[in-house]
Amino acid sequence: MTCVAVVSGGPSPEAEVSRSGAPAVARALRNTGFQVLELELDARLPAALLEGRVDAVFPVVHGAVGEDGCLQGLLEVLDVPYVGSGVLASALAMNKPQAKLALRAAGLPLAREATFVRGEPVEGRAAAVRASVGRELVVKPASGGSAIGVVRVAAADPDSALVAAVERVWKDDPEALVETTVHGEELTCGVLEEDERGARALPVTLIRPKADFYDFTSKYRPGESEHLCPAPLSADVARRIAEAAVRAHTALGCRDLSRVDFLLPSDGAFVVLEVNTLPGMTATSLFPEAAKASGIEFEALCSALVRRALARPRRQTPLVRAMP
């Protein structure tokens, strides 16, 4: 029987989100005929993977070490197939400023931004950044998710509020991303690769949080947000969002699955917020909801992703050249 390790946890602020989604994935895989090991992302993981004679890994991880290419690099060294994007795409998508470089080069619409690296004098740039990026701002960790550590700066706030926001974000991340605030509806669109035809968009989801924005509580506490899937959009807007999601997935070199987040102002000029290479798999998660809306039940989704990983060509050992 094929043995799949479902890996969750790790040294990330999103570890509990990861651990809450892993049991559902493990159950789905057992119900579809796989032997499953549930493992924690820690220093004992390499030995556990080898001792368990694992055939494939399903990472249900978010944030540092798990979603940023580190776990993927370990699995490449061990030559174990795994669900999701490879090392480069994982690392690129996790670092929002670097991802925006690739997305902008692909012609995708993005919010104006600036970055502050920990330790640089923020006071000297605050006024200039607000003049070029906008007075109303969102400040967030450059690498991270689930809206953890996000600080908002109102247009009427003094420049010292931006300084304080950046210094607050630096407590979580060595780089702060500052973006202009875009007012609009929150949308997300999953992207799924199923066969040789490549990536396709799942139905677009409209998110209506009860809070001012889609924060951590809105994302994960049942009843704190409403998900409308398919989103009540015009056919043209839904098509453009779906096309942009696939373009973003492709621009970052993602694999298997991703979820692309958007903001849609009233004028229809949407912006791409970010690309998630390992979308959540909790009871309130958006990717499984969209898959179901397209006719793919959760068990079939998990099973298909593992079989896709197993079907990929394995890494070939190169011929080692002798020293001259």
Length of the chain as a residue count: 324
Q: What percent of the chain has pLDDT over 90?
A: 78
Residues labelled as active-site residues = 14, 146, 220, 259, 261, 274, 276, 280
Categorize the per-residue pLDDT at 314 as very low, low, confident or very high, splitting at 50, 70 and 90.
confident
Tell me what the mean pLDDT of segment 161-180 comes to.
94
Is the pLDDT at 283 greater than 80? The verdict is no
Q: Does domain 3-83 have CATH number 3.30.70.270?
A: no
Whole-angstrom distance, CA of residue 111 vs CA of residue 282: 29
Is the pLDDT at 303 greater than 90? The verdict is yes
Euclidean distance between the first and final Cα of the chain, in Å? 46
Tell me what the mean pLDDT of segment 19-33 comes to.
95
149-160 burial, b at 16+ Cβ within 10 Å, e below that, comes to bbbebeeebebe
The continuous run of DSSP H or E covering 241 comes out as helix 235-251
Tell me what the mean pLDDT of segment 10-15 comes to.
85
Reduced 3-state DSSP string for 277-322: CCCCCCCCCHHHHHHHHCCCCHHHHHHHHHHHHHHCCCCCCCCCCC
Tell me what the mean pLDDT of segment 246-266 comes to.
97
How far out from the chain centre does Cα 155 lie?
29
- In this structure, CATH architecture of domain 92-108+183-295: 2-Layer Sandwich (3.30)
Determine whether 76 is exposed, middle or buried from the number of CB atoms within 10 Å of its CB (0-12, 13-18, 19+).
Answer: middle
* pLDDT of amino acid 131: 95
Model confidence over 46-88: pLDDT tens digits? Answer: 999 999 999 999 999 998 899 999 999 999 999 999 999 999 9
Hey, do 92-108+183-295 and 113-180 end up sharing a CATH topology, with the first three levels equal?
Answer: no
Interhelix angle for 235-251 vs 96-105, to 10°?
110
* pLDDT of amino acid 110: 98
Q: Rounded to 10 degrees, what is the CA torsion of 118, 129, 169, 70?
A: -70
What residue type is assigned to position 74 of the chain? L
* pLDDT of amino acid 313: 87
Model confidence over 211-235: pLDDT tens digits? Answer: 665 555 555 566 667 899 999 999 9
* pLDDT of amino acid 158: 95
Model confidence over 91-125: pLDDT tens digits? Answer: 999 999 999 999 999 999 999 999 999 988 889 89
* pLDDT of amino acid 216: 56
The CATH number of 113-180 is 3.30.1490.20
* pLDDT of amino acid 115: 95
pTM beyond 0.75: the answer is yes
| Mean per-residue pLDDT over the chain, rounded | 92
Q: Give me the residue spans of the domains in the chain.
A: 3-83, 92-108+183-295, 113-180
- Which region, left, alpha or beta, applies to residue 219 given φ > 0 means left and ψ of -120 to 50 means alpha? alpha
* pLDDT of amino acid 223: 65
* pLDDT of amino acid 217: 55
